[in-house]
Amino acid sequence: MITNIRIGLIIVCLVAVTLVLLPFQLVGLAFDLKIRRYVPRLWHRSACWLLGIRIRTHGHLERRRPLMLAANHVSWKDILVLGAVADVIFIAKAEVADWPIFGVLAKLQKCIFVVREEKRRTGDQVNEIAARMNAGEIVVLFPEGTTSDGNRLMEVKSSLFGAAAAAAPATPGNLVHVQPVTLAYTRVHGMAMGRFHRPLAAWPGDIELAPHLLGVMKEGALDVDVAFGDTIDFKAGDNRKHLSQNVTAQLRRMLIRHLRQREYDANDGATDGGSVN
């Protein structure tokens, strides 16, 4: 009963926050005002707070522009977390636009939807990415191309960095700053996350969204570590495979570091009588 009341309150509050911020975002989109970049961050912060997602950041967001963030992908919660940390836009597959609720929110944030199968549209999509970065917007790319279980890095696809490679010649200085970012979900209710709760953090593609979302709302206390890596200056003509290798090495190193800290905390908790499963 208490759980159902909690879920109901979260939904009501999310709807209320959305209705309050929506007019400002619609005006920003209609007149292409900079406010459209800031309003989503307020919504994401509110959503994280209501869902009980606590964020700890390590390192700093790159100040130089144009900037692309290359992040590992664990769950739909990554969108909320990164959106709460910085004023970002996301590169998403075209199917996301048709998702219930999330598709509408993605459109309101003016995400860049790409159709990977249609090469004839690649030029227009790349031009939009370059234009958005040149305008000072921070673009987020998930180079794995899919979600993982949160405990490992999937294969980073160098082809997805084609956007950076094609955008570089159209940017000032003919370069794009690419900064690796890792998201490590480490704790539930303040305790190091064990195997039992790992499905709460990760969202593999074969799990329906609604039940997973309800599971997150039921728990109400999830910690995530966001680590910013060393920025890579990717210039026009540079090899995107080398970029991919550099990004992969940093993502894997940062992810292992924070997951090992989780395991250390879990073992330490078990020594003190705590449970990790």
| The pLDDT of residue 277 | 25
Domain parsing of the chain, residue ranges: 53-271
Residue 204 has pLDDT above 80, yes or no: no
| The pLDDT of residue 185 | 93
Model confidence at 81, pLDDT cuts 50, 70, 90, reads very high
Q: Two tokens at 88?
A: 């970002």
Q: Two tokens at 75?
A: 């769950």
Q: Could you give the percent of the chain with pLDDT greater than 90?
A: 55
CATH of 53-271, one of 3.30.70, 3.40.50, 1.20.58, 3.40.1130: 3.40.1130
Q: CA-CA distance, 206 to 43, in Å (whole number)?
A: 27
Q: CA-CA distance, 80 to 101, in Å (whole number)?
A: 14
Q: DSSP letter at 213? A: H
Cis-peptide into 143, omega within 30 deg? no
Task: Check if the beta carbon of residue 187 is closer than 8 Å to that of residue 225.
Answer: no
Residue 86 has pLDDT above 90, yes or no: yes
Task: Check if the beta carbon of residue 194 is closer than 8 Å to that of residue 266.
Answer: yes
Model confidence at 224, pLDDT cuts 50, 70, 90, reads very high
Q: CA-CA distance, 88 to 231, in Å (whole number)?
A: 16
* Consecutive H or E run containing 69: strand 67-71
| The pLDDT of residue 271 | 31
Q: CA-CA distance, 115 to 23, in Å (whole number)?
A: 30
Which pLDDT tens digit goes with each residue over 23-64?
Answer: 999 999 999 999 999 999 999 999 999 999 999 999 999 999
Q: Two tokens at 256?
A: 């292992």
Give the mean pLDDT of 163-169: 85
Helix axes 77-85, 35-51, angle to 10 degrees: 120
DSSP sequence for 73-141: ---THHHHHHHHHS-EEEEEEGGGGGSTTHHHHHHHTT-EEE-TT-GGGHHHHHHHHHHHHHTTPEEEE
Provide CB contacts within 8 A for 245, sequence distance 6+: none
| The pLDDT of residue 275 | 26
Q: What are phi and psi of 68, to 5 degrees?
A: -120, 130
The set of long-range contacts for 22-28, using a CB threshold of 8 Å and a minimum separation of 24, is 22/108, 25/108, 26/108
Q: Could you give the percent of the chain with pLDDT greater than 70?
A: 90
Mean pLDDT of the chain: 87
- The least confident of 80-94, 107-121, 188-202, 258-272 is 258-272
Model confidence at 273, pLDDT cuts 50, 70, 90, reads very low
